[in-house]
Amino acid sequence: MKNLNYILVALLISTFTYAIETVQVVGSIEIDAPIEEVFEFVADPMNDHIWRSEVNEMTTNTRHLKEGSIFREDAWIGIRKHFITTTELIKLDYPHQALFETVKSNPYFLRSNRLFEETQNGTTFSYVVDFDKRMIKETFGFNAKPEVVVKLYSLLMKKYLYKLKKSFANNHKSTHYN
């Protein structure tokens, strides 16, 4: 129930806070592992390359995940082989939420909300991504309909959430802070 409240708040914030038009993609998956273990691995963007196929490289300014941490992502999105996004961890609620937003100097707005809920079978991880509609033209080279982009990104998200689940089944290994 707490996770549902976070999702509703995320939807309201994305609707009312910004004058720019955003597109939202949401995905969830059940992972057979304790919430603390899932949170420690998934909340940290330095592990994203293990489960998010588009990530080329991720760098950070800190050794420990904390509010104010900055992450620079180099990702292959659409036709852009090196699309750079810089985000800041603006809310860390262990082990339930890690909320990232692009820094002010980033040309496009993006919010990544990572939500975790303990269940009888482990943990439900929900991934809510809101991004500036203008990113569509930048990454695809033309103004595709947002509905089409949502469908495509939803399929991609489903694939990498499944990859994340599999990594837990195969005893995932964090590559950061070791």
- CATH classification of the domain holding 152: 3.30.530.20
What per-residue confidence (pLDDT) applies to 20? 86
Residue 174 lies in a domain: no
Residue 177 lies in a domain: no
Q: 168: which 2 tokens? A: 């837990």
> 80: part of which helix (H) or strand (E)?
strand 80-93
Residue 69 lies in a domain: yes
Low-confidence ranges of the chain (pLDDT < 50): 15-16, 177-178
Q: Give the residue carrying structure tokens 């937003």.
A: 101
Q: Which domain range does residue 137 map to?
A: 2-20+30-169
> 97: part of which helix (H) or strand (E)?
strand 97-102
What per-residue confidence (pLDDT) applies to 36? 97
CA distances from 153 to 14, 53, 67, 78, 90 (A): 18, 12, 27, 10, 24
| Cβ burial, residue 112 (10 Å; 0-12/13-18/19+) | buried
Residue 178 lies in a domain: no
Q: How many domains does the chain have?
A: 1
Residue 165 lies in a domain: yes
Q: What angle do CA 2, 15, 19 make, to 5 degrees?
A: 145
SS3 for 61? coil
Q: Which of 174, 153, 168 is nearest to 54 (CA)?
A: 153
